[in-house]
Structure 1
């Protein structure tokens, strides 16, 4: 049996949905030793984890019965970080439990709380919601936790990043002590481990295949562009793709609104999803994508969580994410459930090192190159339009159409008629953009070493050290960007407790000092200053700087 230990009705639901074999995470949570135990599961987005925890909690909900009992106080609670993800989870669990009489109710911010209260009052087997709204219903007595047999935290790392620790602790604290607790998370940082120790009992740690590494169904690319050419590169990437659906990520609501407006003006059928939209506006945007009225979604990171479009084959990072985990979450919108996808980082020339650091932190190997050129897109269009025209010619025209064709053929040649057909087919296509030429691959240079007879380098410091998780892997690119110097012009780096000292080649020190004093929007709290005394106040000879995993820089 490909899906062991689950009721026959759930097997039928899986078969009707086209499931023949479990994914890695689904197989892992259905192993015999997981039955009845708390689980701490790490798995990539798009790995089928919603169905995984839906199957994992089935023994607690159904037992040996053929159907669920009449809905009353909920038996299971699923907590998700965003409205979109919660509603997506509700939809997945609804079809999974439909054949055994399951009733799934959602409680999410942005929806009518009175309607949710009535739904809870009518009884539910599973409640899915966001942390703030669930806590509110708990405190008002609308959500009764006494019958809960299982609690699932989906994307627990994201909920902690969004500041929901207090809400999660309140929800878990209200649930019965003998319930099962399942934590699903893309990554398992210390915060998640502490949460697990506090609210789980002898949890079984499960790492699905490929955790934290490259997703086998996603092809990662990085394209280098001029700093002012990001938007034009996005246009050409969309035009060159054969994917029916694409999502473009921006970092802020303002950037989403600007790019969405520009893409729409260029002729793309695009929708926007960001935190400033109401839930009904987001739902309409997603429906437009699902029914084909829109092909492109421009979104912020948080707003896009939970979006699951079966034919979304392209993810574009129009703005670089700040953390490797964010990049993996973005990329995970494609390549889902065994389907192939492409994830493209748009990398301004002055952000190459940042992009390299992101890829390294995510353990992703990307193919570096440049965006498609306008000429390449026009050549590709010629092939597509020819194929489209041939497909039309193979159809049997109506008699009225043939009559018009005979009139036109009498006065125009076949080539002219074919040219008009191609022109009509080409008309809806947005025009490709001309891009400034750039170097395709990021240069790699050796670390600075003093030449024979060259004097001691000039020492500087920045106000972040071991206490701020300083790491040479992100410090070196930062120094090159702030000081407008090359890697081979940076020498020794000494990481101390509250500061980091570094050496700059004598010939580049003056240029570095002038450039590094300028305000920096990306790292406004990091200050660069010269070290008095030539930097000899650093660590004792032979001391090694502590190197830790890269993370967000802290002042």
Structure 2
């Protein structure tokens, strides 16, 4: 089955083919016809499943076929909101690549870049705007962004926008946008907050889920190594060196932790750089490009900095520290196993993080058996100190369970002994 079955115009199919894609992914096959039919969509889509093309292609087609109202400068008719700069850049590139055979113009605005340059871009013809919430609000306040004729509104990675506290910005951005519009909401995870948000944004939405909710790609092998916290770096360098891994993406919880780990791994002889929110946009882009080209072997990132990273054939993702938010685990390991490829997701588990693993297993509805390497076994005589925010994580877990109608602590449909998904 090719893209012709989705109802796309031949010129768009040609553009997709030029990018190397001949068959739609499941999310594209399910979503593109519904969007072309004008439906509001609430779609569950993991990273690496082709979700950007799932909304970019039909939007390009509908805008190309719709008459442009009025005269003079063309107005913004499609708005795509993303949580991070990296994801915004990725989405923008997709619109440009897929729309190369059309006269439609796409603009990109995000924080950390020249606001004057972005204002100049918006002063010209812009049909599609890809934006992060904070910078877009700034431009609206300056009178540089007119959203009064938006016909298509997309929330990409809506769960991440909520996690990052953008709900107030979203409400303010919605005020100048017409109530009569098509709204598309894409999220890798669904919880009570997402459903509450959808009720205020979408009209009679079609729910599309091509995989079980809150799952990871089946091609990703998930492995957990139990190890003392103070030996994690040693074990990580050993795994990368002994197994000759290249292009390894490592996640830490904090910016300082990312910098410190990158520095120590360089001392181990592994070319490593870190990216996080305190680094300039230019520094982050240079580090990412060096990682893509193989000039550096390991990239250490925080969750926010890694959103939107699009790296072909990334085989290894390592959770140096488990995230406090269990849904972040899905986003992290979604960096590998993309577009049908295979990947390995390693989690280095200290005794104090066991409660975090339990929360991850709850949303996965799967057990992740622990193992250890000889010589790196956790020391049973060491005192385990539970982090101060452990109670916060437990409270969030219980609140999520109550919102979903579950009994606290219960893992519905739990299956024992499953280590891979």
For the aligned pair, the TM-score class normalised by the smaller chain equals 0.7 to 0.9
Q: 1:317 to 1:354 in 2, by over 3 A?
A: same
In the alignment, is the contact (CA less than 8 A) between 2:46 and 2:216 conserved in 1? Answer: no
The alignment status of 1:437 with 2:377, answered yes or no, reads: yes
* C-alpha distance in 1 between matches for 2:201 and 2:356: 37
Secondary structure class of the residue paired with 1:215: coil
Tell me by how many angstroms 1:318 deviates.
0.3
* C-alpha distance in 2 between matches for 1:546 and 1:38: 29
Secondary structure class of the residue paired with 1:127: strand
The alignment status of 1:329 with 2:352, answered yes or no, reads: no
* More off after superposition, 248-257 vs 43-52: 43-52
* C-alpha distance in 1 between matches for 2:131 and 2:244: 35
* 1:80-109 C-alpha deviation (Å, 9 max, x unpaired): 001111111111221111121332211101
Q: In structure 1, what is the equivalent of residue 276 of structure 2?
A: 274
Q: 1:526 to 1:5 in 2, by over 3 A?
A: closer
In the alignment, is the contact (CA less than 8 A) between 1:60 and 1:149 conserved in 2? Answer: no
Higher RCO (C-alpha under 8 Å, 6+ residues apart): 2
Q: 1:526 to 1:49 in 2, by over 3 A?
A: closer
Tell me by how many angstroms 1:173 deviates.
2.4
Secondary structure class of the residue paired with 1:74: coil
Tell me by how many angstroms 1:519 deviates.
8.5
Unaligned stretches of 5+ residues in structure 2: 395-404, 412-421
Paired residue total: 395
* C-alpha distance in 2 between matches for 1:525 and 1:168: 26
Q: In structure 2, what is the equivalent of residue 523 of structure 1?
A: 390
In the alignment, is the contact (CA less than 8 A) between 1:325 and 1:362 conserved in 2? Answer: no
* 1:316-367 C-alpha deviation (Å, 9 max, x unpaired): 0000111221100000011111111110110113433532432232234535
Choose which of 243, 246, 252 in structure 2 pairs with 1:244: 246
Q: In structure 2, what is the equivalent of residue 341 of structure 1?
A: 343
Tell me by how many angstroms 1:524 deviates.
6.6
Choose which of 283, 288, 313 in structure 2 pairs with 1:286: 288
Tell me by how many angstroms 1:113 deviates.
0.5
* C-alpha distance in 2 between matches for 1:124 and 1:189: 35
In the alignment, is the contact (CA less than 8 A) between 1:212 and 1:363 conserved in 2? Answer: no
* C-alpha distance in 2 between matches for 1:108 and 1:314: 29
Secondary structure class of the residue paired with 1:297: strand
Secondary structure class of the residue paired with 2:147: coil
* C-alpha distance in 2 between matches for 1:119 and 1:10: 25
* 1:3-28 C-alpha deviation (Å, 9 max, x unpaired): 22112111011111121211111111
Q: In structure 2, what is the equivalent of residue 313 of structure 1?
A: 315
* C-alpha distance in 1 between matches for 2:315 and 2:96: 26
Q: In structure 2, what is the equivalent of residue 2 of structure 1?
A: 2
The alignment status of 1:27 with 2:29, answered yes or no, reads: yes
* C-alpha distance in 2 between matches for 1:107 and 1:272: 24
In the alignment, is the contact (CA less than 8 A) between 1:151 and 1:181 conserved in 2? Answer: yes
Describe how 1:103-122 pairs up with structure 2 within 5 A.
103-122=105-124
In the alignment, is the contact (CA less than 8 A) between 1:44 and 1:210 conserved in 2? Answer: no
Structure with larger Rg: 1
TM-score normalised by L of structure 1: 0.66
Q: 1:240 to 1:161 in 2, by over 3 A?
A: same
Secondary structure class of the residue paired with 1:151: strand
In the alignment, is the contact (CA less than 8 A) between 1:213 and 1:364 conserved in 2? Answer: no
Tell me by how many angstroms 1:208 deviates.
2.1
Choose which of 387, 390, 407 in structure 2 pairs with 1:547: 407
Secondary structure class of the residue paired with 1:30: helix
Tell me by how many angstroms 1:299 deviates.
0.5
* C-alpha distance in 2 between matches for 1:226 and 1:187: 30
* 1:13-56 C-alpha deviation (Å, 9 max, x unpaired): 11111212111111111235861011111111221111111123
* C-alpha distance in 2 between matches for 1:261 and 1:317: 17
* C-alpha distance in 2 between matches for 1:252 and 1:550: 30
Q: In structure 1, what is the equivalent of residue 215 of structure 2?
A: 213
In the alignment, is the contact (CA less than 8 A) between 1:61 and 1:149 conserved in 2? Answer: no
Describe how 1:452-491 pairs up with structure 2 within 5 A.
none
Q: 1:290 to 1:59 in 2, by over 3 A?
A: same
Secondary structure class of the residue paired with 1:205: strand
In the alignment, is the contact (CA less than 8 A) between 2:60 and 2:99 conserved in 1? Answer: no
* C-alpha distance in 2 between matches for 1:170 and 1:208: 32
Tell me by how many angstroms 1:290 deviates.
2.0
* C-alpha distance in 2 between matches for 1:164 and 1:32: 27
In the alignment, is the contact (CA less than 8 A) between 2:38 and 2:182 conserved in 1? Answer: yes
* 1:364-392 C-alpha deviation (Å, 9 max, x unpaired): 45353224x6xxxxxxxxxxxxxxxxxxx
* 1:169-206 C-alpha deviation (Å, 9 max, x unpaired): 12222112222110111122222222222222111111
In the alignment, is the contact (CA less than 8 A) between 1:43 and 1:208 conserved in 2? Answer: yes
Q: In structure 1, what is the equivalent of residue 188 of structure 2?
A: 186
Describe how 1:485-504 pairs up with structure 2 within 5 A.
none
Q: Considering only aligned residues, what root-mean-square deviation do their CA atoms show, in Å? A: 2.8
Describe how 1:189-204 pairs up with structure 2 within 5 A.
189-204=191-206
Tell me by how many angstroms 1:57 deviates.
1.9
* C-alpha distance in 2 between matches for 1:360 and 1:13: 41
TM-score normalised by L of structure 2: 0.86
Tell me by how many angstroms 1:233 deviates.
1.4
Describe how 1:160-171 pairs up with structure 2 within 5 A.
160-171=162-173
Choose which of 150, 153, 173 in structure 2 pairs with 1:151: 153
Tell me by how many angstroms 1:61 deviates.
1.1
* C-alpha distance in 2 between matches for 1:437 and 1:519: 19
